């Protein structure tokens, strides 16, 4: 019984690392290698996707996938949520977000989607889209700390199937205007 690493010890260490990684990102990560897996892996290999670690009280720890999108010649790293829990949580309780990042909500239907600033800790711009075309922009929505603790609500006039949240001033920084087409 020597103290050297044998093949079985290395195999156990690799297995433990893989199991730990899956507990961090969740078993649903394996589903990424289904029908859409080729496209996802292509994006990953071609540096259009990165990973970001985040934590909040409701969701706990998790990794998020950020996809690079070019908007008027500038890179924007977009995280996408399309499930009920992700849409409900949004950016609530996050301490900050980089100026070159955004959160894209892919809504389950085309509708008037009201958003509010519940548990928001920093101001944001909200951009409503339908079929990738900007239909409305709400700039510089303040967090509750700037509105006497009452979360501000915004109801757009236009129907939308996606909503993009950026740090305050983001729509202007990226030159976004109603009628612009964004490719996600």
pLDDT at residue 64 greater than cutoff 60:
yes
The predicted-structure confidence for 163-178, as pLDDT tens digits, reads as follows 999 999 999 999 999 9
In whole angstroms, how far apart are CA 51 and each of 35, 43, 54, 158? 21, 12, 10, 33
pLDDT digits (tens, 9 = 90+) for 110-129: 999 999 999 999 999 999 99
Q: What integer pLDDT is reported at residue 103 of this predicted model? A: 94
More confident residue, 151 or 66: 151
Look over the chain and give the mean of its residue pLDDT values, rounded to a whole number. Answer: 80
Domain 34-173, second-level architecture? Sandwich (2.60)
Tens-digit pLDDT profile for residues 80-99? 888 888 888 889 988 899 99
CA-CA distance, 144 to 129, in Å (whole number)?
25
Q: Where are the domains of the chain?
A: 34-173
- Partners of 130 in the beta sheet? 133
């Amino acid at each position: 019984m020597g103290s050297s690493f044998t093949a079985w010890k290395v195999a156990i260490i690799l297995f433990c690392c893989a199991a730990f990684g899956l507990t961090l990102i969740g078993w649903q990560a394996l589903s990424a290698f289904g029908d859409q897996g080729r496209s996802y892996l292509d994006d990953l290999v071609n540096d259009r996707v990165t990973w970001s670690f985040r934590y909040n009280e409701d969701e706990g720890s998790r990794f998020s996938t950020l996809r690079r999108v070019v908007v008027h010649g500038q890179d924007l790293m977009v995280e996408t949520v399309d499930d009920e829990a992700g849409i409900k949580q949004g950016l609530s309780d996050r301490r900050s977000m980089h100026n070159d990042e955004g959160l894209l909500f892919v809504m389950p239907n085309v509708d008037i989607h009201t958003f509010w600033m519940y548990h928001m800790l920093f101001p944001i711009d909200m951009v409503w889209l339908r079929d990738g075309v900007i239909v409305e922009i709400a700039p510089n929505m303040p967090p509750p700390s700037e509105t006497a603790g009452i979360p501000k609500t915004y109801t757009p006039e236009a129907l939308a199937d996606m909503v993009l949240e950026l740090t305050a001033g983001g729509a202007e920084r990226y030159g976004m205007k109603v009628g612009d087409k964004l490719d996600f």
